[in-house]
Structure 1
Amino acid sequence: MPDAYDRHLAPVFFRPFAADLAARTAALRPRRVLELAAGTGALTSAVLAAVPDASVVASDLNEAMVACGSERAPGAEWRQADAQELPFEDAGFDLVLCQFGAMFFPDRPAAYAEVRRVLAPEGRFLFNSWGPLASHGFGAAFQAALERAIPGGAPTFLPDVPHGYSDPHVVTEDLAAAGLALDSAVEVTLDGAAESAASVATGFLTGTPVGAALADRADVEDVRASVTRDMTERLGTGPVTAAMTATVYTAHRPG
């Protein structure tokens, strides 16, 4: 999964928003940075370039992601870590980052409470979360193709998880429950560019839990072929682009 994720999804979905978060990071001029749910290092690499004098610790729950990320962004210290039980000292960082990871935390207020604990007084928490599925051109096309291929039985991972934490009011309440104060919530829309619709389909089908959900089906190859064909019909042949919307949140630990 990490290889497929890094090959087909990271360049298209995550690097554009990583550049955005890295620029916001540079404006804050942090000295000690912790990244949660770092994946294969798309944001990590951008932050290392944007704030070369900062010390950066990149963490992820998945050991395979940590191994992959440490190869791609060796300038950071990589650690396997559960966001709900961070293995770091109190007040050890002046900035905590998380790109498209908060929606995967089983207990978000608990994870945010850990963020508060490891932040120095007045430290900042900078993270983003995808908007509704309809606001993501690639994701919406994939889910529509999947539902066409499996009427009434398509996996709902995309709308339920990556795009299931899109209400800023809910996010604000979760932050407040953990003792963090919201500074801003800004909607950002960027374009993703992929080498082909087939590449994006492959990324979703092999680099996300959708692949595992389909693996035991006797017609799995037919489903994959149908989804790839449908996405190509929807998005076009050759290189493709689509708009993607997310909300960028900045919060702080009150002093």
Structure 2
Amino acid sequence: MTERDKVFSGSIPKFYDTLMVPLIFEGYAADLAALVAASSPGSVLETAAGSGAVTRALAPRLGANARYVVTDLNQPMLDYAAERQGADSRIEWKQADALHLPFDDAAFDVVCCQFGAMFFPDRVAGYAEARRVLEPGGRFVFNVWDRIEKNAFADEITRALATVFPHDPPRFLARTPHGYYDVALIRDDLSRAGFTTITIETQEKLSRAASAHGVAIAYCQGTPLRNEIEARDARLLEFATQRAAQALAGRYGNGPVAGKIQAHVIVATR
């Protein structure tokens, strides 16, 4: 992962939330929220909250007296999520690094993280921090994307952009969001962090959009893939987006499109 892979600023938070969240994140956010809420936790910490997809799904499921701390490394994303969520006295918004959490030991019943672990520069350290702030018997609930070949739109766009930049193809999607898919490695990392009870379920869903062009804009302009394109030649952002849209339309048609997405959902108990 490069430093550019972690930058969610400028117009990215809005594009990410309005385009990427309904495209691939909402369904998994609803599932994760249900999984977290199933134990009726009194205190929840969310790390790498992004634009707040899980926060919006989980907050209505928590009790009136629950404590819900929502964190992210990127302040622009956290600001966007807080504004989108609106007032809720149970929620505390705090900029925080998941690898160095500013909380006491055994402070939470549940720690949750939606599609954030792939961005951790040291995943064992991040998992160890999640375990540290969990009370005994507490759960760390998170998900990660499966390999890019199991995620149709991301794979098609990555291959299309390689034709725009053949000598230096943008590999953000394959490298980071879809780069941490090995279930054996995930189990090993969690074990090294001190977790002993680990369950992993692979979940397939269908991603839908009104058009191939909408999918291309979402990925090329609503994720750090935009940073990677602009670093090569900012003048080619629109051209690259159009090339991705053409590739998607060639495979899925010019009307509404649907493609497979797949992720691993993990529960590790302290």
TM-score band (shorter)? over 0.9
CA distance 1:220–1:72, shift in 2 (3 Å): closer
Give the whole-Å Cα distance in 2 for the aligned partners of 1:160 and 1:91. 33
**Residue aligning to 1:223:** 240
**Residue aligning to 1:236:** 253
Gaps of 5+ in 2: 1-11
- Which of the numbers 100, 115, 138 marks the counterpart of 2:153? 138
1:247 has 2:270 as partner? no
1:13 has 2:24 as partner? yes
**Residue aligning to 1:129:** 144
The answer (yes or no) to whether the contact 1:130–1:162 under 8 Å persists in 2 is: yes
Q: Following superposition of structure 1 onto structure 2, how do residues 44-55 of structure 1 map, counting pairs within 5 Å?
A: 44-53=55-64, 54-55=66-67
The answer (yes or no) to whether the contact 1:16–1:191 under 8 Å persists in 2 is: no
Q: What amino acid is the match of 2:59?
A: L
Q: What amino acid is the match of 2:189?
A: D
The answer (yes or no) to whether the contact 2:141–2:267 under 8 Å persists in 1 is: yes
Q: What amino acid is the match of 2:263?
A: A
Question: Secondary structure at the residue paired with 1:33?
Answer: strand
- Which of the numbers 148, 151, 169 marks the counterpart of 2:184? 169
After TM superposition, give the deviation of residue 120 of structure 1 in Å.
0.6
Q: What amino acid is the match of 1:235?
A: Y
**Residue aligning to 1:86:** 101
State TM-score, norm by structure 1. Answer: 0.94
Gaps of 5+ in 1: none
Q: How many residues align?
A: 253
Give the whole-Å Cα distance in 2 for the aligned partners of 1:122 and 1:164. 30
Q: Following superposition of structure 1 onto structure 2, how do residues 161-200 of structure 1 map, counting pairs within 5 Å?
A: 161-200=176-215
The answer (yes or no) to whether the contact 1:189–1:243 under 8 Å persists in 2 is: yes
The answer (yes or no) to whether the contact 1:16–1:192 under 8 Å persists in 2 is: no
- Which of the numbers 208, 219, 242 marks the counterpart of 1:204? 219
C-alpha deviations, 1:181-213, integer Å up to 9, x for none? 233100111112222221121121112222112
**Residue aligning to 1:38:** 49
Question: Secondary structure at the residue paired with 1:190?
Answer: strand
1:24 has 2:38 as partner? no
Give the whole-Å Cα distance in 2 for the aligned partners of 1:65 and 1:87. 19
Give the whole-Å Cα distance in 1 for the aligned partners of 2:41 and 2:252. 40
Q: Following superposition of structure 1 onto structure 2, how do residues 94-173 of structure 1 map, counting pairs within 5 Å?
A: 94-173=109-188
C-alpha deviations, 1:12-44, integer Å up to 9, x for none? 111010111112122222110111110011011
Give the whole-Å Cα distance in 1 for the aligned partners of 2:105 and 2:115. 24
After TM superposition, give the deviation of residue 222 of structure 1 in Å.
2.6
Question: Secondary structure at the residue paired with 2:38?
Answer: helix
The answer (yes or no) to whether the contact 2:187–2:198 under 8 Å persists in 1 is: no
- Which of the numbers 80, 83, 87 marks the counterpart of 1:71? 83
The answer (yes or no) to whether the contact 1:175–1:182 under 8 Å persists in 2 is: no
The answer (yes or no) to whether the contact 1:97–1:127 under 8 Å persists in 2 is: yes
CA distance 1:193–1:220, shift in 2 (3 Å): closer
Give the whole-Å Cα distance in 1 for the aligned partners of 2:213 and 2:94. 33
Give the whole-Å Cα distance in 2 for the aligned partners of 1:4 and 1:220. 14
The answer (yes or no) to whether the contact 1:182–1:249 under 8 Å persists in 2 is: no
C-alpha deviations, 1:122-164, integer Å up to 9, x for none? 1000000100101112211211221233324211111111111
Give the whole-Å Cα distance in 1 for the aligned partners of 2:120 and 2:226. 20
Give the whole-Å Cα distance in 1 for the aligned partners of 2:43 and 2:237. 46
What percent identity do the matched residue pairs reach?
Answer: 42
The answer (yes or no) to whether the contact 1:149–1:227 under 8 Å persists in 2 is: no
Question: Secondary structure at the residue paired with 2:113?
Answer: strand
